[in-house]
Amino acid sequence: MIDHIRQSLETIAAKDRMRAVRASEMTAGGRIERDGCQLIDFSSNDYLGLALHPLLKQRSCEFIERFGAGAGASRLITGTSQAHEDIERQIAAFKGTEAALVMASGWQANAGVIPALAKAAPRTVIFADELVHNSIHAGCRGAKAEVYFYRHNDLADLQRLLNDTASTFDGRVVITESVFSMDGDGADLAALNAIAAEHDAMLYVDEAHATGVLGERGAGLTADHPGAGVVMGTFSKALGGFGAYVACSQLMRDYLVNMCAGLIFSTAPPPAVLGSMSAALELVPEMDAERAHLAALSEQLREGLLAMGYDTRGSTTQIVPLVVGAEADALALGQHLLDRSIAALPIRPPTVPNGTSRIRFALRSTLSREDVDHVLSAVAEWRDA
């Protein structure tokens, strides 16, 4: 078996797809420290800079002092505390839903909730956008359901699939991200709500990259376009901490408590995580200025890259891809940026489709216009070399 593992790694390396972990420390001003060097960080999902915010750190310490280091058990045994229920009420109020559930991570939520939904009807069919996150693919694989992937943001293709299967299945679930994590573009939630209603389907929306950044008071795009039966989001990106949530009706919450294996068989999120969640939910609704600055930085970067002739995949958000195509080119550009004190890492297949290797710029409100200018100058230098 070891020989096969070694051969697999050699194959990955030969395709310029080898990955490795490198230690970094976040610092103020959208910077990180790595190997003794300070880098401008264009790879973090800490979109509002809350990971280092004093209130999140303070509240986490307070929750540890009050409740201890761990939850002690799964949610259905003795792991649910009053703090968990208080946070869930905060989430529901933030998202404008009847109820909510706190979960360990976005990956766990998608991989666990989707199979649970598939159990609700005798014959369930799932329709998912082809560019949904790996965790949604895992959930679809785990579901005992027929699964179809419609072309990215192609609602005519989704309509065709729904019409073709209209008489075959009892339950229908449509799955999308509100902001797509690799392209930085968004879904047409108003149209998806209408399509789901027309076909008696449940709409499931992953708001991981919209929560905190988009929508009124940073509540995500589903807050502006209500109608989804299940809304999943995370605290590990714009909300600066860790963990995930599901916002839904009380009926759906009751169902997931009974049917979602990822919730039932996992230890509950610990007090320190709940503390940071509590603080973030207080801060985010009042951060309109930071959201406006982030949007302006994103537009500045997008316009600069487009002016140089680069494909940004229809990005409209704080995620701005620079597509170069080949894996080797993405690695070369990533190293060029690193040499100029910019952390903007290459993304390669299988994370993105073949031939679309890229630098994925993830902007943060703690960056400046001068930081974006520095990136654009470095990219232009690489292009003209």
Q: Which residues are catalytic?
A: 45, 133, 177, 181, 206, 209, 237
Q: Could you count the other beta carbons within 10 Å of the beta carbon of residue 236?
A: 21
Distance CA 340, CA 333 (A): 11
Please give the structure tokens belonging to residue 158. 């989704």
Please give the structure tokens belonging to residue 139. 């959930």
Do 145 and 188 meet the contact criterion of CB atoms below 8 Å apart? Answer: no
Distance CA 16, CA 331 (A): 8
Specify the long-range contacts of residues 280-283, CB closer than 8 Å, at least 24 apart: 280/50, 280/56, 280/212, 280/235, 280/239, 280/240, 280/241, 281/87, 281/90, 281/91, 281/94, 281/239, 282/55, 283/50, 283/53, 283/55, 283/56
Do 155 and 176 meet the contact criterion of CB atoms below 8 Å apart? Answer: no
Do 177 and 214 meet the contact criterion of CB atoms below 8 Å apart? Answer: no
Q: Could you count the other beta carbons within 10 Å of the beta carbon of residue 152?
A: 18
Distance CA 85, CA 63 (A): 14
Distance CA 74, CA 266 (A): 5
- Give the start-end residues of each E strand in the chain: 25-27, 31-34, 37-41, 99-103, 124-129, 146-150, 171-177, 202-206, 230-234, 244-248, 319-325, 342-343, 346-347, 357-362
Distance (Å) of CA 10 to CA 21, 179, 327, 335, 342: 17, 34, 16, 21, 29
